[in-house]
Amino acid sequence: MEHKTDIKSLSFEQIKALIAGYEVPSFRAKQIFEWLHVHLVTSFDEMKNIPAALREKLEADCEIRNVKKKNVLISGIDGTRKYLFELNDHQYIESVMMRYRHGNSVCVSSQVGCAMGCRFCASTIGGLIRNLTTSEILSQIYEIQKDTGERVSNVVIMGMGEPLTNYRNVMDFIRLISDENTLHISQRNITISTCGIVPAIISLSKESLKCTLALSLHAPSDEIRRKIMPIAEKYSIKEILHACDQYFNNTGRRVTFEYCLIDGINDKEEHAKALAKLLKGRNAHINLIPVNPVPENDFGAAKEQDIRLFRKILEDAGINVTRRREMGRDISGACGQLVRRTV
Ligand code: SF4
């Protein structure tokens, strides 16, 4: 099959360059861009104010990549919606919409599967299948906004995949979703999560973005981190913290450290004390996540009394701590589980 241009992944400037070759007025670029990113159309036929001849040219040269809703689970407790989407090549990904007082937040996937091998995570069990295109990351938000009829105001790139190993497409996604001529989601409301790819964090710190960086730390020492995250063989906590400091210094945006509490592995008093020592003096914020059990491994959720003590030790050390609300408990299963039940 001939290769068509993935038009929804293009910036406004790139669409202008594309249609320059068609010898049509340049204002058509703005119209096409708006149909794609404001009206969220999925076919060229829907672009009503575009002349038929131009629509035919676009149809011949380009495709509008979309994701297809296959299933949605809705929490009876808090309205959290977990979506299963199918891609053009019949792969599956999942996205979650959470309703908060400050607005709707969508957690998007950036890859099909993941190569990182974190032991508590279901998304990595089948390895990495492929990167998502910019258009496929955008489409998760577009389809959820259309499905609910509600505006999405916050984005977390924390679903399947390690976003910083799909670097270019994720950067293009952030620039497009925050563009003032699209859904215009503020970069301050976008969080990008990473398991700690040091060179990519340093590149990210130079992108002039205003996003929040969420670093999946999950351990107070390299020794424990290596037991649960293979990436820890490659980069030490010291190197990671150094890169995070650079991110903060360049962007002025505080880094959030994500910490999954796993029973008996990283959730005891000594671990909390070591973590407090590691982060003391930093403008850090720790988000504690009681881990979701994954049937394929033997990690259990931390006990409530351990979670409380852990939090208290950090707070007593003057560290800013939140505990992630367990949204959609009744529909959940860990991230990646819906896909695993489907394929
Ligand atoms: S936690 Fe994130 S980086 Fe680690 S395996 Fe899962 S999807 Fe990949």
| pLDDT tens column, 171-189 | 999 999 999 999 999 999 9
Closest-CA residue, ligand 1 atom 4, reads 118
Structure tokens at 268: 């005891």
**Which of 3, 175, 123, 122 shows the shortest CA–CA distance to 167?**
175
Cα separation, 235 vs 196, in Å, equals: 7
Structure tokens at 227: 């037991």
Residues in contact with ligand 1 by the CB-under-6-Å rule are 114, 116-118, 121, 123-124, 160-162, 195
Q: What confidence tier does 229 reach under pLDDT thresholds 50, 70, 90?
A: very high
What is the pTM for the complete model shown? Answer: 0.95
Cα separation, 205 vs 212, in Å, equals: 11
Question: With 80 as the cut, is the pLDDT of residue 7 above it?
Answer: yes
Cα separation, 92 vs 140, in Å, equals: 12
Kind of pairing between the strands at 212-216 and 190-194: parallel
State the closest ligand 1 atom to the C-alpha of 158, by its place in the atom list counted from 1.
2
Q: At 131, phi and psi to the nearest 5?
A: -75, 150
CA of 140 to the centre of ligand 1 (A): 19
Kind of pairing between the strands at 103-108 and 152-157: parallel
CA of 109 to the centre of ligand 1 (A): 11
Question: With 90 as the cut, is the pLDDT of residue 201 above it?
Answer: yes
Contact 266, 307 (CB under 8 A): no
CATH of span 5-63: 1.10.150.530
Identify the weakest region by mean pLDDT among 39-53, 132-146, 284-298, 316-330: 284-298
CA of 312 to the centre of ligand 1 (A): 28
Q: What confidence tier does 329 reach under pLDDT thresholds 50, 70, 90?
A: low
CA of 334 to the centre of ligand 1 (A): 11
**Partners of 74 in the beta sheet?**
81
pLDDT in tens, 280-317: 888 789 999 987 766 666 788 889 999 999 999 999 99
Active-site residue list: 94, 335
DSSP 182: T
- All structural domains of the chain with their residue ranges: 5-63, 68-342
> How would DSSP label each residue in 103-127?
EEEEEE--EEE-SS--TT-GGGTT-
Structural class in CATH, domain 68-342? alpha beta
Q: In the block, which residue shows the tokens 């908060």? A: 100
Ligand 1 pocket test: pick from 165, 195, 262 the residue with the most ligand atoms within 8 Å of its Cβ.
195
**Partners of 261 in the beta sheet?**
290
Contact 177, 185 (CB under 8 A): yes
